């Protein structure tokens, strides 16, 4: 199975600053890569799919990039509601697999 590795595990950022989250796949996933946001006590929410396509309603401060095995989620100017855990997921191959998550904290 494809192993997804996210870094860092925790990212401490001040409101208004930029956050850069990384996701590495153990083999190429051909941009079949999604990002989710999960807040405490809530289900995950899809932010980005196809490596860079924002889901309807997701603010433009969220952007995805990358190719091959390396992908990045960037939050350009962190708002208070963005402090959460972020997961990447590959859907290029079975089984679907998720990274271990990056917690973005104040």
Contacts with other proteins by CB under 8 A lie at 32, 34, 36, 43-46, 49-50, 55, 87, 89, 91, 94-101
Asked if residue 2 lies in contact with residue 29, where contact means CB atoms within 8 angstroms, the answer is yes
Beta carbon of residue 17, minimum distance to other proteins (angstroms, whole number):
25
**Closest CA relative to residue 79, chosen from 39, 46, 49, 23:** 39
Give me the residue label for tokens 């100017």: 77
| Between 16 and 57, CB nearer to other proteins | 57
Q: Which is nearer to other proteins, 3 or 15 (CB)?
A: 3
Strand 45-49 relative to strand 10-12, pairing:
unpaired
Tell me whether residue 49 or residue 83 sits nearer to other proteins (CB atom): 49
């Amino acid at each position: 199975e494809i192993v997804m590795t996210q870094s860092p595990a925790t990212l401490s950022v001040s409101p208004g600053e930029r956050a850069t989250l990384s996701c590495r796949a153990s083999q190429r996933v051909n941009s079949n890569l999604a990002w989710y946001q999960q807040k405490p006590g809530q289900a995950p929410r899809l932010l980005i799919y196809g490596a860079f396509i924002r889901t309807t309603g997701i603010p433009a401060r969220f952007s995805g990039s990358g190719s091959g095995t390396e992908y990045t989620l960037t939050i350009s100017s962190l708002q208070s509601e963005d402090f959460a855990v972020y997961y990447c997921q590959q859907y290029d191959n079975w089984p679907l697999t998720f990274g271990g998550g990056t917690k973005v904290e104040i």
